[in-house]
A and B are shown apart, each in its own frame.
Chain A
Amino acid sequence: MARRHKAQVDGATGVPAALLIPAALAVVFLVLPLIALLVRAPWSTLGSLLSTPEVRDALRLSIVSASLATLISLVLGVPLAWVLARSQIRGRGVLRALVTVPLVLPPVVGGVALLLAFGRTGVLGAPLYDATGVSFPFTTTAVVLAQTFVAMPFLVISVEGALRAADRRYEDAAATLGAGRAMTFRRVTLPLVAPGVAAGAVLCWARALGEFGATITFAGNFPGTTRTMTLQVYLALETDPDAAIALSLVLLAVSILTLGLLRDRWLVRQ
Chain B
Amino acid sequence: MSLSAHIVIQRGALPVDVTFEVQPGEVLAVLGPNGAGKSTVLRVLAGLARPHFGQVRLDGTTLDDPAAGIRLPPHRRPIGMVFQDHLLFPHLSTVDNVAFGLRARGASRESARAVAAGWVARMNLSDHSSSKPRSLSGGQAQRIALARALAGDPRLLLLDEPLSALDARTKLDVRADLRHHLADYAGATVLVTHDPVDAMALADQLVVVERGRVVQVGTPVDVSRRPRTDYVARLVGLSLLAGMAQGRSVVLDSGATVQVAEASSGPVFVAIRPAAVGLYRSRPDGSPRNVWPATVAGVTPYGETLRVDLDGQVPLTADVTPEAAAELDLVLGAGVWASVKASEVAAYPA
Contacts and interface: CB of A to CB of B under 8 A. Distances in A.
Taking the complex as a whole, does A directly touch B, i.e. does some CB pair lie under 8 Å apart? yes
B87 A169 contact: yes
B89 A170 contact: yes
A172 B74 contact: yes
Contact of B104 (A170, A177, A192): A177
Contact of B152 (A169, A172, A177, A192): A177
Given A178-B101, A179-B100, A173 B81 contact: yes
Contacts of B92: 191
A198 interface: no
B104 A191 contact: no
A174 interface: yes
B48 A187 contact: no
Given A169-B83, A183-B104, A187-B100, A176 B158 contact: yes
A194 B73 CA distance: 27
Contacts of B47: 175-176
Contacts of B90: 192
A180 B90 CA distance: 19
B104 A178 contact: yes
Contacts of A179: 75, 100-101, 104
A172 B90 CA distance: 14
Given A169-B87, A170-B89, A183-B104, A177 B148 contact: yes
B48 A176 contact: yes
Contact of B83 (A173, A175, A184, A194): A173
B75 A180 contact: yes
A194 B91 contact: yes
B79 interface: yes
B192 to A, nearest CB: 14
Contacts of B77: 176
Q: How large is the interface on B (under 10, 10 to 19, 20 to 34, 35 or more residues)?
A: 20 to 34
B152 A173 contact: no
B122 interface: no
Interface residues of A, number: 19
Interface in A169-214: 169-170, 172-180, 183-184, 187-188, 191-192, 194
A175 B48 contact: yes
A180 B83 CA distance: 19
Interface string B141-174: 0000000110010000010000000000000000
B133 to A, nearest CB: 11
Contact of A176 (B80, B89, B91): B80
Contacts of B83: 169, 172-173
Interface of A: 167, 169-170, 172-180, 183-184, 187-188, 191-192, 194
6 contacts: A172-B74, A174-B100, A175-B74, A177-B100, A180-B75, A192-B90
Interface of B: 46-48, 73-77, 79-81, 83, 87, 89-92, 100-101, 104-105, 148-149, 152, 158
Given A177-B100, A178-B152, 17 more contacts: A169-B87, A170-B89, A172-B46, A172-B48, A172-B83, A173-B83, A175-B73, A176-B47, A176-B77, A176-B81, A176-B158, A177-B101, A177-B104, A178-B101, A179-B100, A192-B89, A192-B90
3 nearest A-B pairs in the assembled complex, by CB-CB distance = A177-B101, A175-B74, A178-B104
